Structure 1
């Protein structure tokens, strides 16, 4: 049976990417070597790295605008540490917006470097909304936010205007919607949502903001060091980067971010319409802050859980259980999830309604 993969990450990827990556595991570009064993210094992989970095900037509309793209390791969690190391002055401070588990993790790391101002938080409501109308201190070294909150199902729809550098963790919605990416000075994202398998992280950084905080930064944590070595300071995650490159190629061939945004909006509209229409379900977060990537919802009556679970499992749906922090259900609708899979979930919800007295 075909599986409809709603996993929050590692997540669904395009079928064509699986096919090309599988062939590369056996024989990469007719070299007679597997992508799993090829040297990261070989001209074949250096070409992949260079093309992947260039394509990421192209898709984000940042070519020729002073940005560098890096594929590094450690996941977004390492960027929680690397960002203040590179941007916070020795006697400075940083501003953070707290919208969920991952932004909270970034805040904890920043506190080890200096004054960390939380400009707003929705923690007391279990992160069911995105705070708005907050002030960002103009003397902060940077402002950090998380664009999409995988666990709770919220997404920032409008980013604040500020004169200080803006850093954004886009791990769970990068390449999913059109934004003016030039408004951000650093963007980072773990690959395992919309790009590829776990194991690499895309960092896009505006080079002019680096080297100004007066810190002695360890090389492995220094963005300038990684830029100078073209993402090859240490052995890169070859397979994860190659698969991410294949996914970015797939996205470009579809028409880029503008094209995929139309599909993502249609998928989200289909599911949220059913959540709002069906009397057995309700959404978890504020309507205006709903994520188009991660829809969180619950049953009004938990007595229906066993029946609903049986329905979606029989339909071949996978990975839809909600995070323990929220409960209920979470449908992650990343770029590669077809709208047909969303319809299967909607049909299961309707079947439950029709079979419930």
Structure 2
């Protein structure tokens, strides 16, 4: 009865803070992995919670659609669990990262940008898909914050973990290898160039053709819808970094489902071989999407590391970008790997000459 009352009040637009706060309930760290699920995220320090999905559904129905980036300051209040156990209130607006016709095919996928009035320096990116709720808060004290389902699998987004990036421990230790080798950077600037403006800070939007190998799709459950949901989670986070740091965002093109393969045996990619995939993706994107219909292309796979062309966006080689991992989920894949490789495509070189390719 109490649950019916809470949900009814939410749907009527009356959502007291006490009700919204109850959307998240503290939980103990799970001690076992359910049958059929996998766990890829551990943290030295973390806060575990359960999400009341009926309350989330009611709250999310009140979140307005973004018109411009300043709309987040006029968004709808949503409580977010922090790693220390506190609840912070964010103002959410829905911010789609798929073109309209593709988004219409997958209404169960929603992405958001959020502003925290008590911490205006924080920048939040969140999403909700059939694979659960995901969040990233950039600029938080103690480092970036991530919120993810504890277990991987469409049936198990029940218990969530809120953790700082620096506390993350991978279930599968993996040394990411970026196979790109750029030119040595000339860091000297004359006085005139030092004072020059490097942009207008206007947010620029690029059309993204995002491929997926059959192996990537299988990892996320085997269907196009599941792979596209995972792609949205990753790209929403990648966009968060690019929007904040270089005023760039990417929108997945309308017919991108043509690039998402479900059969590893018949797809056009040599999964695990970045040197082959980087060229295969050009053919796939041009044939399926059309060269005139995208600005940057990339392919997600498994067990491959990363490789990308330097400064290829909007050129004939604009689809030269590959990222793969044995566990293509969460912070390492989304931020350390995909953001890294796409950075190369936007003409960002390595800044250190060392084996970790930073």
TM range (shorter): under 0.3
Greater per-residue strand proportion: 2
TM-score by length of 1: 0.25
Higher relative contact order (CA 8 A, sep 6+): 1
TM-score normalised by structure 2 residue count: 0.25
